[in-house]
Chains A and B, each alone.
Chain A
């Protein structure tokens, strides 16, 4: 069973607008969530994270929101830039599982100039 799901395989946004990427999880033991960005033929690059004691974390153009009751998190990118075009992965970890990350299936973001 998929414990972390990204239900939108792709998202297209105009440059300058907001991109919202969503992620749902089922495992109540997850207490740390991360977003990674991946270009073809490269490894994932860490973007931003949030622990379960917070509901929001910001870093420049990137903001992650966590709704624990809904087991849902989202990544907002404002403003979106063409260089943001990539596959974005949501990942989750549980404090009793070391550094093991459980990944969602990814969302391909295309930002049009």
Chain B
């Protein structure tokens, strides 16, 4: 089975721009979660989607948004980019929603905001 794929792998943007990142989960997985990793804050949960519905949301401003399509692929969007948004954005997929589920991570998208 192919793993979680994320595109693009690297991205450079300037302040004020917006960006869209894409994630394709493992085949058959219906839950997709997004995380931000920075040196200062570590790995932080952004949001989770299951069956095209946002199920959980982390403590991030409204500039961060996401969606999930009927084939379980997911995108996240960051508008009005700030320097502090520079981070590794990780997507994780899981077959189910809820208890005792392992999550499988993609390689991440490295976003640099100049």
- Identity of the chain B residue whose Cβ is nearest the Cβ of A49 in the assembled complex: B102
Contact B99 A95 (CB under 8 A): yes
Contact B100 A100 (CB under 8 A): no
Give the number of residues in B that approach A within 8 Å (Cβ atoms). Answer: 29
Contact B103 A101 (CB under 8 A): yes
Q: Which of A85-113 contact B (CB under 8 A)?
A: 89, 91, 95, 97-106
Say whether A44 faces chain B, with CB atoms less than 8 Å apart.
yes
Say whether A41 faces chain B, with CB atoms less than 8 Å apart.
yes
Contact A32 B100 (CB under 8 A): yes
Q: Which of A38-94 contact B (CB under 8 A)?
A: 41-46, 49, 51, 89, 91
Contact A43 B31 (CB under 8 A): no
Taking A43-B4, A95-B98 as contacts, is the C-beta distance between A102 and B42 under 8 angstroms? no
Interface SS majority for chain B: strand
Of A41, A46, A51, the contact of B104 (CB 8 Å cutoff): A46
User: Residues of B contacting A34 with CB < 8 Å?
Assistant: 102-103
Give the number of residues in A that approach B within 8 Å (Cβ atoms). Answer: 25
Report the 4 A-B pairs with minimum CB-CB distance, sorted nearest first.
A43-B105, A103-B43, A98-B55, A100-B56
Q: A43-B4, A99-B94, A101-B92 are in contact. List 13 more A-B contacts (CB 8 A).
A: A32-B99, A44-B90, A49-B100, A91-B43, A98-B48, A98-B56, A98-B98, A99-B103, A100-B33, A102-B45, A103-B43, A103-B44, A106-B43
